[in-house]
Structure 1
Amino acid sequence: MARYEQVHGSVALITLTGPPVNALSAAVRQGITDTVSRALGDPEVKSVVICGQNGVFCGGADIREFAKPTMGGPPLVPMMAAIEEGDKPVVAAIEGVALGGGLELALGCHYRIAHSKARLGLPEVTLGLLPAAGGTQRLPRLIGVAAALDLITTGRHVTAQQALKLGMVDQVAEQNTVEAAIQFAKQVEGKPLLPRKLSLQPTACPPEVDTLLEEAMAQVKRRARGAIAPVACVMAVRAAVTLPYQAGMQKEQELMSTLFRSSQARAMQYCFFAQRAVGRWKLPGGAHSVNTKPRPVTKAAVIGLGTMGRGITVALVKAGIAVVAVETNDKQLQTGKQIVCEMLKREAEKRKETPRLDLVHFTTSLAELKDSDLVIEAVFEDMPLKKQVFKELSSVCRADAFLCSNTSGLDVDELASVTRRPEMVVGMHFFAPAHVMRLLEVVCGRGSSPEAVATAMQLGKRLGKVSVAVGNCSGFVGNRMLKPYLEEANFLLEEGATPELVDAALEEFGFAMGVFRMSDLSGLDVGWRIRKEAGLTGPDVDPRDHPRRRQGRRYSPLPDLVCEQGRLGQKNGRGWYLYDKPGGRVATPDPSIHRFLEDYRLKHAISPRHIDRQEVVERCLFALINEGFRVLDDGIAAGPEDIDMIYVFGYGWPRHRGGPMFYAAMVGLPKVLERLEHYRQAHPDVPHLEPSALLRRLVDSGSPPIDTWRDFLQRPHSQL
């Protein structure tokens, strides 16, 4: 759909009309084709301006069409070629966004005028694809190879001013962009168009272009961690350097064809839609995100200025929310204040803004919370301490103030039980660093009101988080599923693996860090303290039981024994790996850890065996996935999308694998079931390897598509 009108006598104004972002659907492509043909064939028209309605130029392709067997309407490449090859100047008036195919459309035009608030980019790589309407061929010809590689392989957006500096646009307009483009079009009527047709221009290459491309490929492979789209992007740009335009276009199409059919593209497009779906939460009583109005939060409070509290405070201030930050004594308050202010200054410097230090009030008095709309408790992960805080908050806060806990796994209902308002209590599980990490688990207790859930979800969105509503159980979704993953990694060490082998297998799968490098980063003493509080360490519960069992099930004491040696991870330079100094980041294998493992196996008469990378991936990931099926069946997550977005945004699951549940569907549920049964037979003392009832039901039903799994849940969701 495109509206055609003739303005200022000689200018044809073509307006894309496909709300909300004028995506290049079949109808919009047909509209562009028809109106451009009309303008080029009208002798009264001397120039053309293309814009979008409602202040948005074009958000790119209509991703929903990707799932169709065939895409109707005119193809993009000939459409854009017709624009460029025409004998009348065509000017793109870019407002709002020009992304993906939208930017490629603008590159097919002869000139580009952008509003000062516009953003431009080629984000196809984030969907497992590459710009396939000439973007990989025209952009290097316009702004050079290095700049084009940066934008195409990362998918990042640039501002209008950055685009002007790069040479992507010809002018930046502060006010009426369309009118500025019309006036510009009239000025260039009759001028030679050959220099403005990018397909006819050579690619501007520096003398060391081969080295540049080789280095870019090496960097992309390191960063991509197995994702194939960024690699294909470099190959396409290389074609713009080494081949004539038409041959480069052919290469672009070949690469796109391979990507389009790949499981990685399906995974990343699944993530695109799943990220939007998780905001549509629903409670068992029928209340859901569509008909529940969140309450506005203008003033919040944070209790505790440790690592998490500081990050939460910074996240709130960055969102423009006034914060009362509370600590127990002056010394801790001053330490927290200094660090928070430094963090805010660094964040503001990155964004070239003035730090909003005025939005934070630091105090040791809970009485100053009387005007807060919402309070986030972020004290030490200790139930008695948190219950004491909630009891006090129930007394000092307004009756309509929401009380939230940043717990990573404690019982939200137990916290709510000490208040006079359980309906106002929800969990808000942030992930460290809280001002950076995208995930927020919003934990719904039995008494949590729809309004409380809606407000916490909306606040998370305002903070730039991907908010996922989950039920209340130990560990919620993310940490509950993480437990068997970590346990399997430790069992593999007992059986003959090394930390380096396990980590290498998981990093090859796509994780930024394997289990043991991540444990060193987090601090080994953190988990040790939790296990001690849970009664898992120390003497055996049953002295007749095997020394490696606790509470009737297999338990590996390896992490505890490592901590007892004073090895706490990066913080003191010694953990599962060695580091060059306390706080160092470069991990090197430690021979003393290898000797420690050998001695442990000898003591417990364990014969080490060869373990390959496939077993590492299957044991760790299938155990995690199996727990995910239990989470679904227990009603702690409403659907597989919730689990997948929690793991993609909170636990580093590689996006090109789609999330644990999507990955299980891609591997094949019968394969997952078969391997779990195999490992359960080999390790009968590990309950989490017993295939879940939901997994069995799905396999018995023919392994239906992932979007139908909700229909197979055993009972209504207990919490969601």
Structure 2
Amino acid sequence: MAQYTLVSGSVGLITLHNPPVNALSAAVRQGIVDTVERALSDPKVKSVVICGQNGVFCGGADIKEFGTNMSGPPLVPMIHTIEAANKPVVAAIEGSALGGGLELALGCHYRIAHSKARLGLPEVSLGLLPAAGGTQRLPRLIGVPAALHLITTGRRVTAAEALQLGIVDQVTDHNTVDVAVKFALSVEGRSLDARCISTYPCPCPSDLDALFEGVMQKVRQSARGAIAPVACVQAVRAAATLPYTQGMEQEKELMATLFTSGQARALQYCFFAQRAVDRWSMPGGARWDTSKPRPVHKAAVIGLGTMGRGITVALAEAGLSVVAVETEEKQLMEAKQAISGMLERGAKRHGVAPAPDRISYSQNIQAVADVDLVIEAVFEDMALKKKVFQQLSAVCKAGTFLCTNTSALDIDHLASQIRNPELMVGMHFFAPAHVMKLLEVVYGPRSSPQAVATAMQLGKKMGKVSVAVGNCQGFVGNRMLKPYIEQAFFLLEEGATPELVDRALEEFGFAMGVFRMSDLSGLDVGWKVRKGEAEPGVASGQPARIQQDHRYSPLGDLLAEQGRFGQKTGRGWYQYDKPGSRVAMSDPWLHSFLEEYRAQHGLVARRIDHQEVLERCLYALINEGFRILEDGIAAGPEDIDVIYVFGYGWPRHRGGPMFYAGMVGLAKVLEKLEHYHQAHPDVPHLQPCSLLRRLVTSGSPPVNRWREVIKKLHSQL
């Protein structure tokens, strides 16, 4: 769909129309082909302007067409036709020009952008590369190093940066289409030989081989197994070393390989899963679209430790007025200084003015009397949180939503402390709260749909990916994390080392393995949680065999008891040069400790390979995910996958744990769990979940059809 109008006597104005982002669907591509042909054959038309309707140029390819037999005109010949036109074609870029949208603009002879526009080639985030000439034209226009950075990261740039790089010819604060039309009139009749980017020589540094070698090494390291960034480097190298037509062939071949890869399917699944979690539902069928969120203009944060500070910053950066409460004067002074610094750094990063005036500080909880919503972020202690909510219930105005930032405590138990339990939900942020994208919105049996909708909407306003989950120990993310970590401990008892376990998980795609992550977050954190859970029979130094009816490993507790808290103390599962250092080094003491531990408890070390590490850790985590679906804590597999990708470092190119289980094959996951549970009958988390068995019996349907099986299962309970 593209509309054609003759304006200013001689300018053919082509307007793309496909809400909301004017994606390049088959109908839009056909519309462009038809209107361009009409403009070029019309003797009245001396120049052409291409724009998008409703303030957006073009958001790129229509991802819904991926995986189907794509119809309509192909994009590459269409762009070549525009570039080869004998009349100047100007792109009027408003809103965004992304992916195929930017490639379309690069095929035009001139580009005019509004100052608030954003431009980029984000295909790498979908496991692909810009395959309509983006990898060939952009390096010719802005040089190899700058093009490599944009294409391999998918980063979007502002109009000002695009002008500086040379992507656009002009930036305006006025009506972009009007400016583009005037510009088109001014260049009518000019030679276009110097405006066809495909004919440009690629500006290359003299040490081209060294440049690509360095970039490839860096990309492989940061990609952690993802193949698309590597293919992007190879495509840009083709632009730098081959004629344009051969470079285009190389781009096409690389794209064909990526397009059919499992990684592209996983990344595209992540794209849609992120949107699916917006359509949350609660038991009983209540949905967000029937539960209108209440607007939140003023919020409060109680407790200004690490999490409270980050939440305060996230609220302020979202434009809310914030009352920040901390009863300890020293902690309050430190928090003020820290929050001010965080706001300044955030403002600098986003190119805006900091907003410290949005935050008021107080030592008195009475200061929250007139807010719309409160987020409690005090220490993870049930008695302390109960006391805070009793105070809030007495102080806050009627209808104030009361939220807790707990990572595991019972929401319903806290709701019982307030006058209106329907106003209570959990808002589980992830550290650092002003940076991490994930927010678990936890509803209890008494939480109202409006309270959940309000928390979800507030999360969206803060730029979070919000996922609504039910109330249970650890909710979704931390509940699944427990068997994952548990298996890592058991593997150490059986003969593995922290280095072996971490290496296997990092080669799989995690930024950090279990033990490096434990050292970063602090062994004392998990130790306090485990002591709070009061595992039966787990006193200091107790054997790892069977505690009542299940196995428990005290290894983490034993290290914590010796003050080995990880990076903060310079010793944990690894050793560090000094407290606070982030460089993990193998610790001979730890290896001796493990040998002594095994000898003390009659455990014979055996050889453990990477495959067993992955199967034991990941399949135990996945199995708990199936239990969560079976229990109705998460509405569908997409919810779990989004939580793990955005909150727990699951590699995006693996799609999330539940998607990964489908890729591996549910029958294989079931078979392996049965094998390991036979070998370790004292580990309940290895016993295959009945939902997993049911899905295998149903023929292992694809992940997007699991909801049907889950719905049937729940209806029979």
> Which TM bucket (shorter chain)?
over 0.9
* Aligned positions of 1:430-469 closer than 5 A: 430-469=429-468
State the shift of 1:574 in Å. 0.7
2:60 maps to a residue whose letter is G
**Conserved 8 A contact 1:100-1:131:** yes
State the shift of 1:67 in Å. 2.4
Which residue of the other structure, out of 673, 676, 681, is the alignment partner of 1:679?
676
Q: Deviations over 1:547-568 (max 9, x none)?
A: 5333421000111111122211
Alpha carbons of structure 1 residues 553 and 399: separation in structure 2 relative to 1, 3 Å = same
- 2-structure distance, mates of 1:155, 1:598: 47
Give aligned pairs, total.
Answer: 715
Aligned to 2:146: 147
**Conserved 8 A contact 1:531-1:537:** no
1:492 aligns with 2:508: no
Aligned to 1:21: 21
State the shift of 1:716 in Å. 7.6
- 2-structure distance, mates of 1:360, 1:212: 47
- 1-structure distance, mates of 2:160, 2:539: 66
1:422 aligns with 2:424: no
What SS does structure 2 have at the residue aligned with 1:645?
Answer: helix
State the shift of 1:604 in Å. 1.0
**Conserved 8 A contact 2:537-2:548:** no
State the shift of 1:418 in Å. 1.1
- 1-structure distance, mates of 2:312, 2:546: 42
Aligned to 1:603: 600
What SS does structure 1 have at the residue aligned with 2:442?
Answer: strand
Q: Deviations over 1:99-135 (max 9, x none)?
A: 0000000000011000111100000000000000000
State the shift of 1:253 in Å. 0.4
- 1-structure distance, mates of 2:159, 2:673: 52
Alpha carbons of structure 1 residues 715 and 417: separation in structure 2 relative to 1, 3 Å = farther
2:622 maps to a residue whose letter is I
Aligned to 1:190: 189
Aligned to 1:513: 512
State the shift of 1:539 in Å. 5.2
State the shift of 1:301 in Å. 0.5
1:44 aligns with 2:38: no
Aligned to 1:172: 171
Q: Deviations over 1:168-208 (max 9, x none)?
A: 00011111111111111111111111111111111011112
Task: Name stretches of at least 5 consecutive residues in structure 1 with no aligned partner.
Answer: none
1:557 aligns with 2:551: no
Aligned to 1:668: 665
Alpha carbons of structure 1 residues 286 and 716: separation in structure 2 relative to 1, 3 Å = farther
- 2-structure distance, mates of 1:538, 1:717: 35
Aligned to 1:644: 641
- 2-structure distance, mates of 1:570, 1:717: 45
State the shift of 1:283 in Å. 1.7
- 1-structure distance, mates of 2:460, 2:409: 23
Aligned to 2:54: 54
Aligned to 1:407: 406
- 1-structure distance, mates of 2:328, 2:264: 52
2:63 maps to a residue whose letter is I
Alpha carbons of structure 1 residues 540 and 590: separation in structure 2 relative to 1, 3 Å = closer
1:333 maps to a residue whose letter is L
319-328 vs 238-247, which moves further: 319-328
Aligned to 1:568: 565
State the shift of 1:44 in Å. 2.0
1:249 aligns with 2:248: yes
State the shift of 1:402 in Å. 0.3
State the shift of 1:477 in Å. 0.3
- 1-structure distance, mates of 2:157, 2:53: 21
1:624 aligns with 2:613: no
1:524 maps to a residue whose letter is L
Aligned to 1:289: 288
State the shift of 1:649 in Å. 0.3
State the shift of 1:579 in Å. 1.0
- 2-structure distance, mates of 1:426, 1:715: 28
1:580 maps to a residue whose letter is D
Aligned to 2:691: 694
- 2-structure distance, mates of 1:206, 1:664: 45
**Conserved 8 A contact 1:506-1:617:** yes
**Conserved 8 A contact 1:125-1:229:** yes
- 1-structure distance, mates of 2:275, 2:107: 31
What SS does structure 2 have at the residue aligned with 1:579?
Answer: coil
Q: Deviations over 1:642-663 (max 9, x none)?
A: 0000000000000000000000
What SS does structure 1 have at the residue aligned with 2:296?
Answer: coil
What SS does structure 1 have at the residue aligned with 2:217?
Answer: helix
1:400 maps to a residue whose letter is G
What SS does structure 1 have at the residue aligned with 2:288?
Answer: coil
2:565 maps to a residue whose letter is L
1:647 maps to a residue whose letter is Y
- 1-structure distance, mates of 2:613, 2:683: 16
State the shift of 1:388 in Å. 0.8
What SS does structure 2 have at the residue aligned with 1:570?
Answer: coil
State the shift of 1:371 in Å. 0.3
2:624 maps to a residue whose letter is E
What SS does structure 1 have at the residue aligned with 2:113?
Answer: strand
Alpha carbons of structure 1 residues 676 and 642: separation in structure 2 relative to 1, 3 Å = same
**Conserved 8 A contact 1:635-1:716:** no
**Conserved 8 A contact 1:370-1:397:** yes
Aligned to 2:373: 374
State the shift of 1:546 in Å. 5.9
- 1-structure distance, mates of 2:332, 2:714: 42
2:583 maps to a residue whose letter is V
- 2-structure distance, mates of 1:714, 1:193: 61
Alpha carbons of structure 1 residues 562 and 151: separation in structure 2 relative to 1, 3 Å = same
- 2-structure distance, mates of 1:540, 1:512: 33
Aligned to 2:218: 219
322-331 vs 392-401, which moves further: 322-331
2:696 maps to a residue whose letter is V
State the shift of 1:460 in Å. 0.3
Aligned to 1:135: 134
What SS does structure 1 have at the residue aligned with 2:608?
Answer: coil
Q: Deviations over 1:418-477 (max 9, x none)?
A: 111100000000000000000000001110001100000000000000000000000000
- 1-structure distance, mates of 2:702, 2:86: 50
1:109 maps to a residue whose letter is C
1:161 aligns with 2:195: no
348-357 vs 523-532, which moves further: 348-357
State the shift of 1:372 in Å. 0.7
1:277 aligns with 2:293: no
* Aligned positions of 1:312-327 closer than 5 A: 312-327=311-326
**Conserved 8 A contact 1:633-1:714:** no
- 2-structure distance, mates of 1:258, 1:693: 37
What SS does structure 2 have at the residue aligned with 1:572?
Answer: coil
- 1-structure distance, mates of 2:644, 2:62: 26
- 1-structure distance, mates of 2:111, 2:97: 11
2:141 maps to a residue whose letter is L
**Conserved 8 A contact 2:544-2:554:** no
Aligned to 1:336: 335
Q: Deviations over 1:560-611 (max 9, x none)?
A: 1111222110001111011111111111111111111111111111111110
State the shift of 1:630 in Å. 0.2
Work out the percentage of aligned pairs sharing the same amino acid. 71
TM-score (normalised: structure 2): 0.98
Alpha carbons of structure 1 residues 4 and 622: separation in structure 2 relative to 1, 3 Å = same
- 2-structure distance, mates of 1:99, 1:25: 14
Q: Deviations over 1:13-67 (max 9, x none)?
A: 1111111111000000000001111111122211111111111110000000002
State the shift of 1:349 in Å. 2.4
Aligned to 1:534: 533
- 2-structure distance, mates of 1:598, 1:696: 38
State the shift of 1:344 in Å. 1.6
